[in-house]
Amino acid sequence: MLKKSIEKAINQQINAEFHSAYLYLSMSSWLQSVGMAGCANWMKVQYQEELAHATHFFDYVLERGGRVTLAPIAEVTVDFKSVMHVFEETLKHEINVTGLINNLMDVAIKESDHATKSFLQWFVDEQVEEEANVEQILNNLKLINGEGQGLLMMDREMQSRVFVNPFPGKA
C-alpha cells in the first residue's frame, strides 16, 4: 500500500509528464508549421515517450493499491522564435523535470519506501540521457548557426527517430 505522501507526489508527477507530452506535441506542431518535418518527428517521438512515462507512473500507483487523480494540464507555449529556441526550451524543461524526479526520490527516501526508490531509479537514469540528447542537438545547432543548408541536413537526420516503448508489454 502506498503512503498518502508518495501517492500525492506521484500524482503530481503524472500531471507533469502529461504536461511535458503536451508541450512537446505543441513544439512538434510549430516545427511542422515552419517546414521542419524531421524536427517535428523527433518532437512527436518525445511526446510519445512522455506519455509512456505518465502511463508507467499511473500503472505503478495502481499496482501499489493507490488512487490516481488526474488534474488539469497547464497551458503550453504555442509559438517559438526559431528551431534553436525550441531546443533551448526543451533543455530548460528537461532540467526542470530532473529536479521534479529528484524531489520525488527525496520523498521516497524520507518515507523509507524502497519499492518506490527502486521504481524511480529508472527515471533518474533516464533524465541523464534526456538532458544529454538535447544538449547534443543544441551543440549541433550552434555549430551550424541554427540555419541554412546545415539545418536542412540536420532536419533530415531527425526524421529517422522512431518511438521505442521503454516499457514493452506495459504502456
Pairwise CA distance, residues 164 & 166, whole Å = 6
For position 97 contacting ligand FEO by CB under 6 A, the verdict is yes
Contact present, 29 and 76 (Cβ < 8 Å): no
- CB-nearer residue toward ligand FEO: 130 or 155: 130
Which residue's CB is nearer to ligand FEO, number 97 or number 107?
97
Instruction: Single out the residue of 15, 18, 19, 53 in contact with ligand FEO (rule: CB under 6 A).
Output: 53
Query: Taking the complex as a whole, how short is the minimal distance between the CB of residue 1 and ligand FEO, in angstroms?
Result: 26
CB atoms within 10 A of CB 26: 19
Nearer to ligand FEO, 15 or 151 (CB): 15
Is the Cβ of residue 94 or residue 151 nearer to ligand FEO in the bound state?
94
Query: What is the rounded CA–CA span in Å between residue 46 and residue 28?
Result: 9
Contacting residues for 19 by C-beta, under 8 A, at least 6 apart: 73, 74, 76
- Check residue 20 for interaction with ligand FEO (CB under 6 A): yes
Q: Which residue is nearest to ligand FEO (CB)?
A: 53
CB 101 → ligand FEO: shortest distance, Å? 8
Q: Look at the alpha carbons of 21, 97, 110, 56 in this order and tell me if their dihedral is positive or negative.
A: positive
CB of 134 to ligand FEO, least distance (A): 9
- Smallest CA-to-CA distance from 19 within 77, 58, 81 is with 77
Q: How far apart are CA 136 and CA 124, in angstroms?
A: 19
7 vs 94, beta carbon nearer ligand FEO: 94
Residues at the interface with ligand FEO (CB under 6 A): 17, 20, 50, 53, 94, 97, 130
